[in-house]
Amino acid sequence: MKKMREVLINRWKKLTIQLKLTLIFIFTSFIIFAVMFFMYLNINSMIQEIDKVYVSNVKLNELTDSLESVHTSMTDYLNTKSSDSLENYYRNEQEFRDLLDSLNSEVIDNDMLLMEKNIKSMSEGYLVLTNQTMQAKRGRNIEKYNELYEESCGLFSYINTFIYSLNNEQFKSNSNNYKLLLVSLQYLEVISATILIAVTLANIILIFLLTKSITRPLMKLARAANEVAEGKLDIKLVNVDTLDEVGIVARAFNKMILSIRNYIEQIKEKMETESALKEKELIMKGHLKDAQLKYLQAQINPHFLFNTLNAGAQLAMMEGAERTCLFVENMADFFRYNVKKINQDTTIKEEIKLVDSYIYILNVRFSGEINYSKEIDSSLEAIKIPSMVLQPIVENAVNYGIRNINRKGFIKVAVFQKERKICISVKDNGIGMGQSIIDRIMRGEEKETDLSKNSTGIGLGNVISRLKLYYNREDVFSIKSDGMNKGTEVLLYIPYQK
Amino acid sequence: MKKEWDEKQERKQKIAPIFMSTGIVIILLLVVFCMFYFHSSIMKEGLKDSIKYNQYDKHYVLITGNNADPLWDSIYEGALEQAVEENAYVEYLGKNLSVDYSINELLQIAIDAKADGIIVEGNESEETTALIDKAVTSGIVVTTVFYDSSQSKRQSFVGVNSYNLGQEYGEQLLELCDESTERIFVLMDTNATDSSQNIVYLGIKEAVEKIKDNQIAIQAVAVDNENAFSAEESIRDIIMDTQNIPDIMICLNAVNTQCAYQAVVDYNKVGEIKIIGNYDSDTILGAIEKKIIYSTISIDARQMGNLSIQAMEEYMDTGHVSGYLPVNTKIINEDNVNLYRNAKQEMIEND
């Protein structure tokens, strides 16, 4: 049953709209036609019944007429003895007998049928009497035929009374039937009309539903199209599983929506990457500007300063103060680097050189407190990195690591390759730091406080952000410390590119 | 909002085919139901004529001179009841006819119609006797009922012993008589030609004579029963004759009893004229309850019908039957009228 239904539904879905509409029309017309046909049959059979009602009365009237003819022709013969009347008599007698045959001759508990039986028996007796009368007339037995005639007349009147009474009874019962039939005919009319109305209503509902099944996909399609027109492209696809014209349009529509969506998606992606790139650039620039500004704040006129320093170094050389001369040269290098490199990438080698100058200056300032050592893989010295990266780290190690310890401070800078990364390590033996401070620095939350004293002004945070932006990755920087007074190691991870 | 709408739409889509198929099924059911309804109703109309009737072997007829009398209806019912058991049917001849035929004419008709048996209300007229003889000679079994045709060749007579009936009337009369009773009328049917009424009258008279030193005048009054309504008129005449008002009226048949009762009520003679009736119609029983009729003698009419059929069957089976079969009578008065009425009611319900 279910399978059959599915098959039917599938078949229906495969039909074209034209065929569907035609089928609906044929189906509903067929229902109406069937109902009409059935009603016509009913009314027809009813009318036939009504026709039959008075047939029995007509038959009885025929019987009376026939009996009358028999009696008349007998009387005629008795009067005239003509051969015509004799012939008439025999013909009428035969007719009468034929009519009698249709009467009931059984004992049945219905008064009317019993009367028929009586009429039949009496009529048979009557015909015997009339025959005898005719014979007596032929034999000229006047006395006998008179007597028989009298007798048959009596019987004739009895039979007539019986037929008349039976006719009456039948008429009564027939009238009753007739009335009932008329009433039921009226009922039939009312109920026929009711059925017709009901079927028509049902048909309307049926047509409504069937046509709705055709137009529903259209409506869906229109709705979807309206939504698309309003700019909502993320609508659900139109679900139409019919194979008719609407189905074809719907599928085309779906395809269109999908391809539009795809296209928009592509444009979006493109725009997103572009904007991300731009953003990065902007941030980068911002940070550089920031670093630059800080340098400018710290070094009012580096050109003037390092020219002056150079003049100082030459003066020291002339006076034979070699150490002063070296010190002033280093300072000049340090400031020159800042002026020169601030806007461009540099190499590891240059950065290390800057650190060397810085340490030398510090050692002069603080009379050789810092033990500085290097462990450089010379093959990596040419690798490009952003400028002003290493020095702030070393500065940090000096300021926060070894400045305030009583023992001798060490700082070790190492450059080596680890897996596919280049590691630059700045290690000190200072006071170290707690994990919470490390985390805060890594997140860029720790504020650089003493910019004014002993600092080039670039904080760790600035270095970290610049590295992250430059290499576009997060794992560029780590700080390791085993705890209080156990020193700190800052590691930079630079992706290795040949 | 939109999603909701979509879901609703989807639900609708799922419901629609169910709704549709249900609709179609309902239409079909409606059509089929109406089809059956009409078919059956038309068939019912059409079958009115051809309801299965039962067929029987023998055809008996009942002939009475007065088919308006409820007594004869009871006799007919009794006869029919018995006949059906014997696979025969009884026709109440003359009942459905447009002409009121006399007993003799009906007898002739029954002979011509070749009935198997005739139950007839007999009388002693020569013509009736001759017709009964004619029927018997043409092979029809004849039983007289209620009144006999003693001179005829009828096979049997079923009826009340008139003398006993007279005695019973007498007994009732004795209960009713007191010092003030002067005149008693016995209403007699003029067209009853047999002697049975006379015998009844005799019985009554004998009973009255038992009363010592009585001044009671007992008188047979003829009531003309020949024409329709004549009995009623005759009885009214009697009651309106203020000079000759009876103290007690004895009615020998049902019609007279009912007429007398009605007349007594109409002329405000209740209590003045006492009635002893015959038969047990509802009207008569009601009158007894109201103490207008003192008592009634009821003949077991159904038994009478039963016995007449039994007599004919016995004759057909064995070739002979007892010439006289007595029927029970029963006196109904104020004391037992309720009992009798209930019993009658029960019998009707059982039918």
Could you read off the pLDDT of A4-60 as tens digits, one per residue? 778 877 777 777 778 878 887 888 788 788 878 877 887 888 788 777 778 888 889
Query: How many domains is chain A built from?
Result: 2
* CB-closest option in A35, A46, A108 to B53: A108
* CB-closest option in A110, A125, A213 to B53: A110
Helix/strand/coil percentages in chain A, nearest 5? 70, 10, 20
Quickly state the pLDDT bin for A450 (edges 50, 70, 90): very low
Full residue range of the structural domain in which residue A45 is found? 11-215
SS3 label, residue A425: strand
Shared fold status for B58-159+302-328 and B162-278: yes
- Work out the average pLDDT over A304-326: 83
pLDDT tens-place string over residues A53-100: 788 888 899 999 999 999 999 999 988 888 888 999 999 999 999 999
CB distance B42–A154 less than 8 Å? no
> Is residue A232 within 8 angstroms of chain B, CB to CB?
no
> Is residue A151 within 8 angstroms of chain B, CB to CB?
no
Asked, for residue A490, whether it belongs to a domain, the answer is: yes
State residue A375 phi and psi, 5-degree precision. Answer: -140, 90
Nearest to B253 by CA among B325, B162, B333: B162
Residues contacting B134, CB < 8 A, separation 6+: B111
Q: With a cut of 50, say whether residue A352 has pLDDT above it.
A: yes
Output the domain CATH number for residue A437: 3.30.565.10
> Is residue A101 within 8 angstroms of chain B, CB to CB?
no
**CATH class of the domain whose range is B58-159+302-328:** alpha beta
Neighboring chain B residues of A193 at a CB cutoff of 8 Å: none
- The distance of A420 to chain B (nearest Cα, Å) reads 53
Asked, for residue A240, whether it belongs to a domain, the answer is: no
Tell me which residues of chain A, numbers 2 to 61, contact chain B at a CB-CB cutoff of 8 Å. Answer: 9, 31, 34-35, 38, 42, 45-46, 49, 56
- Work out the average pLDDT over A369-383: 86
Neighboring chain A residues of B54 at a CB cutoff of 8 Å: 108-109
Residues contacting B26, CB < 8 A, separation 6+: A202
Output the average pLDDT for chain A. Answer: 83
Three-class DSSP labels, chain B: CHHHHHHHHHHHHHHHHHHHHHHHHHHHHHHHHHHHHHHHHHHHHHHCCCCCCCEECEEEEEECCCCCCHHHHHHHHHHHHHHHHCCEEEEECCCCCCCCCCHHHHHHHHHHCCCCEEEECCCCCHHHHHHHHHHHHCCCEEEEECCCCCCCCCCEEEECCHHHHHHHHHHHHHHHCCCCCCEEEEEEECCCCCCHHHHHHHHHHHHHHCCCCCCCEEEEEEECCCCCCHHHHHHHHHHHCHHHCCCEEEECCHHHHHHHHHHHHHCCCECCEEEEEECCCHHHHHHHHCCCEEEEEEECHHHHHHHHHHHHHHHHHHCCCCCEEECCEEEEECCCHHHHHHHHHHHHHHC
> Is residue A318 within 8 angstroms of chain B, CB to CB?
no
pLDDT tens-place string over residues A191-230: 778 778 877 887 787 778 777 777 887 888 888 888 888 8
Asked, for residue A99, whether it belongs to a domain, the answer is: yes
Distance CA A358, CA A364 (A): 10
- The distance of A232 to chain B (nearest Cα, Å) reads 12
pLDDT tens-place string over residues B10-53: 665 556 666 766 777 777 777 677 767 766 766 665 555 556 67
Domain boundary among A215, A241, A269: A215
> Is residue A211 within 8 angstroms of chain B, CB to CB?
no
- Work out the average pLDDT over A370-383: 86
Q: What pLDDT sits at residue A451?
A: 44
CB distance B23–A125 less than 8 Å? no
What residue in B sits closest to A199 (Cα-Cα)?
B27
Asked, for residue A4, whether it belongs to a domain, the answer is: no
Q: With a cut of 60, say whether residue A382 has pLDDT above it.
A: yes
Mutation to test the B interface, candidates A49, A100, A104, A107, most B Cβ within 10 Å: A107
What CA–CA distances, in Å, run from A335 to A268, A299, A301?
47, 8, 10
Q: What pLDDT sits at residue A459?
A: 75
- The distance of A459 to chain B (nearest Cα, Å) reads 55
pLDDT tens-place string over residues A388-433: 888 888 888 888 888 778 888 888 999 998 888 889 999 888 888 8
> Is residue A385 within 8 angstroms of chain B, CB to CB?
no
Weakest mean pLDDT among A176-190, A359-373, B42-56, B233-247: B42-56
The two tokens of residue A458 are: 């670039």
Neighboring chain A residues of B57 at a CB cutoff of 8 Å: 107
Weakest mean pLDDT among A126-130, A341-345, A377-381, B310-314: A341-345
CB distance B37–A191 less than 8 Å? yes
> For residues A213 and A244, is the Cβ–Cβ distance under 8 A?
no
Output the domain CATH number for residue A147: 1.20.120.1730
What residue in B sits closest to A51 (Cα-Cα)?
B46
Burial class (CB in 10 A: 0-12, 13-18, 19+), B21: exposed
Mutation to test the A interface, candidates B1, B22, B34, B106, most A Cβ within 10 Å: B34
Kindly list the averaged pLDDT for each block of 10 residues, start to end, along chain B of length 351.
59 63 73 70 57 83 82 89 90 84 90 91 89 93 88 90 86 85 86 76 86 80 77 86 87 88 90 88 89 88 90 91 88 88 80 62
Q: Domain spans of chain B?
A: 58-159+302-328, 162-278
Neighboring chain A residues of B26 at a CB cutoff of 8 Å: 202
CB distance A115–B38 less than 8 Å? no
Q: What pLDDT sits at residue A89?
A: 92
* CB-closest option in B20, B27, B91 to A209: B20
CB distance B38–A42 less than 8 Å? yes
* CB-closest option in A109, A154, A168 to B98: A168
Neighboring chain B residues of A154 at a CB cutoff of 8 Å: 108
Neighboring chain A residues of B45 at a CB cutoff of 8 Å: 46, 49, 177, 180-181, 184
Asked, for residue A172, whether it belongs to a domain, the answer is: yes
Chains A, B: CB contacts within 8 A come to 119
> Is residue A223 within 8 angstroms of chain B, CB to CB?
no
CB distance A206–B17 less than 8 Å? no
- The distance of A385 to chain B (nearest Cα, Å) reads 56
Neighboring chain B residues of A121 at a CB cutoff of 8 Å: 112-114
The two tokens of residue A308 are: 């002056």
Specify the pTM: 0.56
Whether domain B162-278 has CATH 3.90.550.10: no
- Work out the average pLDDT over A119-139: 91
Mutation to test the A interface, candidates B109, B118, B140, most A Cβ within 10 Å: B109
CB distance B56–A205 less than 8 Å? no
CB distance B41–A199 less than 8 Å? no
CB distance A114–B26 less than 8 Å? no
Distance CA A8, CA A1 (A): 10
B/e letters for A140-159, b = 16+ CB within 10 Å, e = fewer, are eeeeebeebbebbbbbbebb
Asked, for residue A33, whether it belongs to a domain, the answer is: yes
